[in-house]
Structure 1
Amino acid sequence: MGSDRRFTFALAGWIALLGAALAASVGAFMLPGLGAGRIVALLGVAGATAGLWLHVRQTNRTVARFVEALRFGDSATRFGLEQGAGFRELGEALDAAMTRAHARQEAMAGELRFLEALVDDMPIALLTIDAEGQVTLANKAARRLFRDVQGARAEDYVRYSATLARQLAEGRPGETMLLIALDGMPQNVLVRRASLDRLGRRISVVTVQPVQGMLNAVEAAAQTDLVRVLTHEILNSLTPVTSLAETAAGLLEAPDLAAEPRVADARAAVSALARRASGLSHFIEAYRAVARSPEVRRQRFLALPWAEELVRIFAAEAAELPIRLIVEPQDLPLDADPDLLAQVVINLLRNARQAMDGHTDAPHITLRVKPYGQAVLLEVEDCGPGVPPALRHDIFLPFFTTRANGTGVGLNLARQIAIAHGGTIEVRDAPDGGALICLALPHA
């Protein structure tokens, strides 16, 4: 970058003028009787000096404005100067530099907006913790997950988990699996912590990722594979037993063996064996459905008319049993497969009725549908004996049952349907001592 020709000529002219004024002043002072000439000469020196100073000062002011604009990030300032100033080339060069700086600022701002949107929309909750221990919910997922937090300190998270609060307050970088209370239900979350430098200050970045749904899906898949293998192997072993028992029973039906009393006993035993083997084969074949994941056909529908229909269906087989239906609000929508969900609720109502049989003189059931945070809860509450804490996980296992005539399939299938919807199911204590089955589904 350099001065154009006019700047050079103007500078040379002012210097020449100053030199001439100085020479005239020296001559005026050397010759006697030139008092007026001396004054004119001094005025000429002053004028030339002022002109040269203003000419140079304009350059300094322009450069100073450029430096100030860079200092404060003002890339919109322009430096085009008048033609007579002799600084057009300087102004154009500075304007070009500011245009490039503005373009870089726009590119950086666009990249920053992209990164901010990326962080804000990422599905994993992100929290930052500064050196003073202030916790900031850094994206939408964090604000949804911890929407009930009041305050910005680690101790404010005790309501979710004391361990989580300690992890936020004094945790070390690394990865930890924690059990915290989300939407009133215990859920496993994966907590990762790292340290970063931000503007010369050390901050901690914590991500909280709920993994309960993934763990449930993995467990259900493992159970499904196990059931598939067991039913396959049992049927393979049982088929020849059934065939041989039926063949032996047929042989023992021969007329020439009818007179032998021991043959009659053997015939009865073999026939019973054949019937039981055949019945067991049908039982296993029928419940191989447990090994098939339910296909969910989602649709949006209102909870109230759907639940009222379920109550009417259940009342047809248990008219003597009072059932209370609570749907709040009455226009609450559901986003699920209505048929699969109906199958789950009907099975839960039947389980509740069987649990109360002989346990209370005033049996009653409550079916409740309500929103809870980011989920919708479907609750079936009874006044039976409840479920012991030690069995609350086992009751959802395939073929696990506490009833003599139970199959152990209904609750496992209910869990599979809940997981297929992206939800969870668990059993709690009801307020009056019975069982409270809670099915949580994502909110419509």
Structure 2
Amino acid sequence: MGFDAAFARGLAWRVAALITAIVALTLSWRVSGLAATRIVAALAVVGATLALWVYVLRTNRVLARFVETLRVGDASARFDIGGGSGFAEVAEAFDTALARLRAERHAGTEELRFVQALLDDAPVALLVIDQTGAVEPHNKAARRLFGEATGARPEDYAAYGASFAARLERQGAAEETLLLNIGGRAQRAIVRTAQVSRLGASVRAVTVQPAQGAFDTVEMAAQTDLVRVLTHEILNSLTPVTSLAATAAGLLADPELGSDPRLDDARLAIGTLARRAEGLSHFIEGYRAISRVPEIKRQRFSAAAWADELAQLFKAEWPDLSLEVRVEPADLSLDADLDLMTQVLINLLRNAVDAATSFTPDPRIALNIIRGPDGESWIDVIDNGPGIPPRLRQEIFLPFFTTRAKGNGVGLNLARQVVVAHSGTIEVVDGTEGAVMRIIMP
């Protein structure tokens, strides 16, 4: 490059000057009477030596400064060197190299910011456990999900579940489904653990993905398929029985057969069989409603206006009871299928009335529609009945399960289907008295 030739020329004439001065000094010593010439020649040697030294030293200093700049990572340095002899070219080359370094560093920084933002906004909670066992929530989802943790050790997360705290303690990669206590609710979550390297140290990255909604959807689909198959097979087998029983009852009703007591017994037995078979057919047809997945037609509506409508329906069906209604905030709105959710709430209110009126002479029913702590909507139906034992709180939503003599086990299962189809959840939560049925809508 230009610096090579310029530096070589500068070095050459300085060396040549030094050699010339040395030759002149040598010759002056051989000729007598040239004392002044010797002094001048000596000064010339000193000057040429000094010029060569400064020239080389200046180059070394520029190179040393460039190397030091790279060592400390100061990409903002500038090499504005004048004086000719190729130093402008070397300065330009160094500035170009540092400009490229700055560009690469800027690109790396921007990419790191992008990855950090992507990680921070990821919907899956990420915990990082270092080699000392300290647990650090590493993104917004983790800080939101585990905001109640008061420490940084695995045991400090026991409030979310003993099995989860034990998972944080254990080494090694794994993937499992755990039951976590999140926001006072038991929810299933997929927990994955991986070993990764961080600044030369091995750390564990733990992702926690609440998946209760997905599990509810799969479970409801499995129940729907099961009920569809069962009702289809049972009806196929029952249809000929019903037909033959009705035919036999019609034949035995013929008065020409006489009044033999044995015929009377046969008529009674066949008539009973025919009625029970027909009743069973209607009963099974009623359960087939469970196998039909509801079609959701969403619309946004006022929670307060909807609560007033429910209160009017409640008063029309139970004029002797009062319904306490609370909507907070007053301008709260819901995005749901109004007709289906109204049917769900009517069923829940009916269950609440049955429980309260059969348990206490002073039944109280309440409907609360409020905004939850995470921005979701909570719809609570509250009664002061006997409550629901914890061991039955999951079973009551199963098809055909009922604790009432006149119940058929369909209402709560259908309610759950409608809520799950809205990507929500329905559950029994602890209250001050009686039962609290809570629907959580996104």
TM over 0.5, shorter chain: yes
Q: Which amino acid aligns with 1:26?
A: T
> What is the CA-CA distance between 1:32 and the residue it aligns to?
4.6
Single out whichever of 322-331 and 72-81 deviates more from structure 2: 72-81
Residues 429 and 134 (structure 1), Cα distance of their counterparts in 2 relative to 1, 3 Å cut: closer
Q: Secondary structure at the match of 2:283?
A: helix
Find the aligned partners of 1:35 and 1:100 in 2 and give their Cα distance: 58
1:167 and 1:263 mapped to 2: Cα distance? Answer: 72
What does the per-residue CA deviation read over 1:46-91, in whole Å, with 9 as the maximum and x for residues that have no partner? 3222322332233223322332332233445454654723235434
| Post-superposition offset of 1:6 | 2.4
Moved more, 419-428 or 353-362: 419-428
Query: TM-score, with normalisation over the residues of structure 2?
Result: 0.90
Match of 2:161 in 1: 161
Query: Is 1:55 equivalent to 2:49 in the alignment?
Result: no
SS at match of 1:179: strand
Give the 3-state SS of the residue equivalent to 2:160 in structure 1: coil
Partner of 2:410: 409
- 2:35 and 2:339 map into 1 onto residues whose CA distance is 117
Contact 2:163 2:178 in 1 (8 A): yes
Deviation track 1:206-249 (CA, whole Å, cap 9, x = no partner) reads 11121222222222222111111110011101111121122223
**SS of the residue aligned with 2:244?**
helix
Give, as a single letter, the amino acid of the residue that structure 1 aligns with 2:411.
G
Structure 1: runs of 5+ lacking an equivalent: none
What letter is aligned with 1:383?
N
Higher deviation after alignment, 238-247 or 257-266: 257-266
Task: Give me the identity figure in percent.
Answer: 54
Residues of 1 paired with 2:422 and 2:143: CA distance? Answer: 23
Q: Determine the structure 2 residue equivalent to 1:192.
A: 192
Contact residue 231 and residue 284 of structure 1 kept, 8 A: yes
Aligned to 2:352: 352
Aligned residues of 2:297 and 2:336 also touching (Cα < 8 A) = yes
Amino acid across the alignment from 1:189: A
Query: Structure 2: which amino acid aligns with 1:168?
Result: L
From the superposition, tell whether residues 297 and 32 of structure 1 become closer, same or farther in structure 2 (CA, over 3 Å): farther
| 1:289-320 deviation digits (Å, cap 9, x = unpaired) | 20122222333333222222112211210121
In 2, distance between residues paired with 1:31 and 1:368?
121
Report the counterpart of residue 399 of structure 1 in structure 2.
400
SS of residue paired to 2:84? helix
What count of residue pairs does the alignment treat as equivalent?
Answer: 441
Amino acid at match of 1:381: I
- Would the alpha carbon gap of residues 163 and 262 (structure 1) be closer, same or farther in structure 2, given more than 3 Å must change? closer
Deviates more, 1:90-99 or 1:186-195: 90-99
Alpha-carbon contact 1:382-1:430 (below 8 Å) kept: no
Of stretches 351-360 and 73-82 in structure 1, the one that deviates more from structure 2 is: 73-82
Query: Structure 1 stretch 148-157 or stretch 133-142: which is displaced more?
Result: 148-157
> 2:383 maps to which residue?
382
Coordinate RMSD, CA, aligned: 2.6
Using structure 1 for the length normalisation, give the TM-score. Answer: 0.89
Partner deviation per Cα, 1:392-413 (whole Å, 9 max, x = no partner):
2221110111112111001111
Deviates more, 1:258-267 or 1:345-354: 258-267
Distance, in Å, in 1 between the alignment partners of 2:31 and 2:299 is: 112
8 Å Cα contact 2:3/2:85 also seen in 1: no
- 1:318 aligned to 2:318? yes
Contact kept? 1:383, 1:430, Cα under 8 Å? no
Unaligned runs of at least 5 residues, structure 2 = none
Work out the CA distance in 2 between the residues paired with 1:314 and 1:43.
117
**Cα distance in 2, alignment partners of residues 308 and 318 from structure 1:** 15
Contact (CA 8 Å) 1:427, 1:436: kept in 2 or not?
Answer: yes
* Distance in 1 between residues matched to 2:80 and 2:297, nearest whole Å: 68
Q: Distance in 1 between matches of 2:160 and 2:343?
A: 33
Q: By how many angstroms is 1:150 displaced?
A: 4.4
What secondary structure sits across from 2:300 in the alignment? strand
